[in-house]
Amino acid sequence: MVETGNSEPQKIIARNFSFSYGNSPALKGITLHVRTNEIFTVIGPSRSGKTTFLKCLNRMNDAIANTSKSGELLLDGRSVFDKDVDVAELRRRLGMVFAVPVALPKSIYNNLALGPRMRGILRKKRLDEIVERSLKAAYLWEEVKDRLHTSARNLSGGQQQRLCLARAMALEPEVLLLDEPCSGLDPVSTRKIEEALLELKSRYTIILVTNITAQAARVGDRTAFFLMGELIECDATETIFTHPSNERTADYLTGKFG
């Protein structure tokens, strides 16, 4: 991790970072930092660059042709774009969960055990421990512990989303990148995800992109507001929601656009 002058630990730093798809800029000179063990929420209307920011962090945009970038994007003080970065290891360290849950056509158990097996963990006792720990962390263990060997696709949408969260944690990441994980969920499932995140921030750094502004207010330690690829402001979540420094932020939060 990187330390600031006042010993505040920083896990991720963006310095004047820009990213474009062809001639279309998606991020424009973003400068921010994400502290270790915080929930950092990112809000803003669609096409503001929120998801692009997550995908740049774990280099999911590498396979897209005709992109360009400038500035710096650092994890623990090292550029994620360094030539000798192991991209597979980077993606393990920054686990990503998408808006639409994708349960693999396997049992609940094997959805969780697949990643550790691919990393060489083959002992059943160790895999059992990883599966149980990850499901408990995602607030899913009590609901599925008696049917671990049934198809994961039989789970409800909310359960599948928590399964995807557990699957990311089974790889023992350092950062969780969550792209609107509650966008299609009912209030009960949303509450369970939020409860899990509040518990998990003691072990992980969490970046949560959310289209639910109230969710950012409930769980975010700090919040960034993106608009058309620009970072409009970033501050403590309470400050953003009660005393935003930019009129555009206030307009978005009060529903004048978005």
pLDDT in tens, 27-54: 999 999 999 999 999 999 999 999 999 9
Q: What is the pLDDT of residue 9?
A: 86
**What number is the average pLDDT over the span 125-147?**
96
SS3 119: coil
**What number is the average pLDDT over the span 226-249?**
97
Dump strand ranges (E) for the chain: 2-3, 9-21, 24-35, 39-43, 67-75, 78-79, 94-97, 175-179, 205-209, 222-227, 230-236
Percentage of residues in the chain with pLDDT exceeding 90? 92
C-alpha to C-alpha distance for 196 and 124, rounded to whole angstroms: 26
Look-up of token digits 């990503």 = 96
Beta bridge mates, 5: none
Q: What is the pLDDT of residue 258?
A: 73
Res. 4: pLDDT tops 80: no
Q: What is the pLDDT of residue 178?
A: 97
Q: What is the pLDDT of residue 184?
A: 83
End-to-end, the C-alpha distance of the chain in Å comes to 35
Res. 2: pLDDT tops 90: no
pLDDT range class, residue 6, cuts 50, 70, 90: very low
The rounded mean pLDDT for the chain is 94
Tell me the pairing of strands 9-21 and 67-75. antiparallel
Res. 223: pLDDT tops 80: yes
Specify the higher pLDDT residue, 26 or 9: 26
Name which of 32, 26, 70, 80 is nearest 49 in CA terms: 26
Specify the higher pLDDT residue, 7 or 137: 137
- DSSP label at 244? -
Tens of pLDDT along 172-211?
Answer: 999 999 999 998 888 999 999 999 999 999 999 999 999 9
The domain made up of 36-59+87-253 has a fold known as Rossmann fold (3.40.50)
pLDDT range class, residue 7, cuts 50, 70, 90: low
C-alpha to C-alpha distance for 42 and 179, rounded to whole angstroms: 9
What is the token pair recorded at 167? Answer: 């699957």
Res. 257: pLDDT tops 90: no
Look-up of token digits 């502004």 = 213
C-alpha to C-alpha distance for 87 and 83, rounded to whole angstroms: 10
Res. 247: pLDDT tops 60: yes
- 103 in Cβ contact with 164 (< 8 Å): yes
88: enclosing H helix or E strand: helix 87-93
Tens of pLDDT along 66-117?
Answer: 999 999 999 999 999 999 999 999 999 999 999 999 999 999 999 999 999 9
Q: How many residues does the chain have?
A: 258
- DSSP label at 248? H
Name which of 172, 57, 163 is nearest 112 in CA terms: 163
- 26 in Cβ contact with 1 (< 8 Å): no
What is the token pair recorded at 8? Answer: 């505040």
The burial class, CB within 10 Å (0-12 / 13-18 / 19+), for 95 is buried
pLDDT range class, residue 5, cuts 50, 70, 90: very low
